[in-house]
Amino acid sequence: MSINFPLILVLATAFTGIVWLVDHLVFRPKRLGRVAAAGDIDEESRKTILAEPIIVEYSVSFFPVLAIVLVLRSFLFEPFQIPTGSMIPTLAVGDFILVNKFTYGIRLPVVGTKIVDIAEPKNGEVMVFIPPHQDVYFIKRVVGIPGDTVRYQDKTLYINGKQQNQTFLAQIPPVDPRVLQYREKLGNVEHLIQRNPYRETSVDEWVIPEGHYFMMGDNRDQSSDSRYWGLVSEHNIVGKAVAIWLHKKPGLRLPEFSRNGWIQ
């Protein structure tokens, strides 16, 4: 079972904020009143009377930090680690990326309700979202927006009847290849994809209704995406993946920065 970190963050921020506010408005004036009533007392006694309960002390310390993290994570940028190889070669397992939370509109944390419209996802952009079949973050490329007709035939995308160009780059390894690598142009975005030369695909076509998006991984034959579990609702958009800022290989290895850069 996945941990709902946004909910935990909201609850922790609310709890520490309420504790601090109640103490500031109710209990601290009472402590000051007891000091005034005590008259001429030594500094040590004064500090003892004014001392905050431990829960208040921790709340006052943690609330500003939690509030800043909540604002940054909910409305600006959220870190995300790539868990699978479905976006190879664009994104590798162990990449740490930044997700822009405001590109597609400002949303309330936890509930995801959009409160400010800014822009809509475009074909070719890499998006983080919650799929219809599982309550976890997924990351794929947008290949169909509302109103599009998407066809996948001979491992080639056709959007509204127009073939999306693929240029062959390499076979890996050169002898007896396991994958073929291509450069694909999707809308105005050029990016890399890879295909398995031994895996066959059927001809499928989808019409994208309003408020939904068709998502596919760049590792076309090794990706669980909209071809299998359906379309992504606009309500379940998390944000646009914009940059790789760190890479950590599995095991006891130090993080590295060799893959840092903007995501295409």
Are 17 and 134 in a shared domain?
A: no
Q: Percentage of the chain surpassing pLDDT 70?
A: 99
Give the residue from 18, 44, 75 where a domain finishes: 75
Are 131 and 210 in a shared domain?
A: yes
Q: At 155, list the tokens.
A: 């491992």
Are 50 and 171 in a shared domain?
A: no
Give the residue from 43, 75, 107 where a domain finishes: 75
Tens-digit pLDDT profile for residues 161-184: 999 999 999 999 988 899 999 999
Are 64 and 96 in a shared domain?
A: no
Amino acid 217: pLDDT? 97
Catalytic residue, candidates 59, 74, 86, 226: 86
Query: Coil, helix or strand for 60?
Result: helix
For residue 207, give the DSSP letter.
E
Q: Please give the average per-residue pLDDT across 78-101, as a whole number.
A: 94
Q: Please give the average per-residue pLDDT across 22-43, as a whole number.
A: 87
Q: Which of 87, 209, 211 is nearest to 150 (CA)?
A: 209
User: DSSP E strands: which ranges in 45-160?
Assistant: 77-81, 95-100, 106-107, 114-116, 126-129, 138-144, 149-153, 156-159
Per the annotation, the verdict on 2 as an active-site residue is: no
Q: Which of 206, 193, 221 is nearest to 144 (CA)?
A: 206
**Total structural domains in the chain?**
2
Catalytic residue, candidates 59, 74, 101, 140: 140
Are 108 and 25 in a shared domain?
A: no
Are 60 and 155 in a shared domain?
A: no
Amino acid 111: pLDDT? 80
Q: At 230, list the tokens.
A: 């359906």
Domain that holds residue 201: 84-262
Q: Please give the average per-residue pLDDT across 249-256, as a whole number.
A: 82
Are 60 and 106 in a shared domain?
A: no
Tens-digit pLDDT profile for residues 130-164: 999 998 999 999 999 999 999 999 999 999 999 99
Domain with residue 207: its CATH number is: 2.10.109.10
Q: Is the pLDDT of residue 2 over 60?
A: no
Q: Is the pLDDT of residue 1 over 70?
A: no
Q: Is the pLDDT of residue 67 over 50?
A: yes
Q: Is the pLDDT of residue 118 over 70?
A: yes
Are 123 and 208 in a shared domain?
A: yes
Are 97 and 203 in a shared domain?
A: yes
Instruction: Supply φ then ψ for residue 23, to 5 degrees.
Output: -65, -45
Amino acid 182: pLDDT? 97
Q: Is the pLDDT of residue 4 over 80?
A: no
Amino acid 42: pLDDT? 81
Tens-digit pLDDT profile for residues 192-232: 999 999 888 889 999 999 999 999 999 999 999 999 999 99
Q: Is the pLDDT of residue 235 over 90?
A: yes
Are 58 and 115 in a shared domain?
A: no
SS3 breakdown of the chain: % helix, strand, coil, rounded to 5?
25, 35, 40
Per the annotation, the verdict on 202 as an active-site residue is: no
